[in-house]
Amino acid sequence: MPDLKLPKIPDRTPIKMTIQLLPELAEALGAYAAAYEQAYGKAEPVGELIPFMLAAFLESDRAFARAQR
């Protein structure tokens, strides 16, 4: 088998999680979704935004990145 530059693509099977939120957080997430729609002109459900919000948070957490190394 040839040595490919592209590594094997990782598993991308979505994992469904159920969480409970405090009312204030649920309201804030709804407000964020409204701000997103205003900024980009396209409505996205909160459930679609949350994975990207979590990924952005983890990518920006320097202490977490150091701990992962």
Identify the domain containing residue 58 by its residue range.
45-69
Question: What is the DSSP secondary structure assignment for residue 41, as one 8-state letter?
Answer: S
Within a domain: 68? yes
Structural domain includes residue 7: no
- Condensed to tens digits (0 to 9), the pLDDT of residues 13-68 reads 999 999 999 999 999 999 999 999 999 999 999 999 999 999 999 999 999 989 98
**Quick check: is 29 in a domain?**
no
pTM of the model: 0.78
CA 21 to chain centre: 16
Question: What local confidence, expressed as pLDDT, does residue 1 receive?
Answer: 63
What is the pLDDT, as a whole number, of residue 29? 97
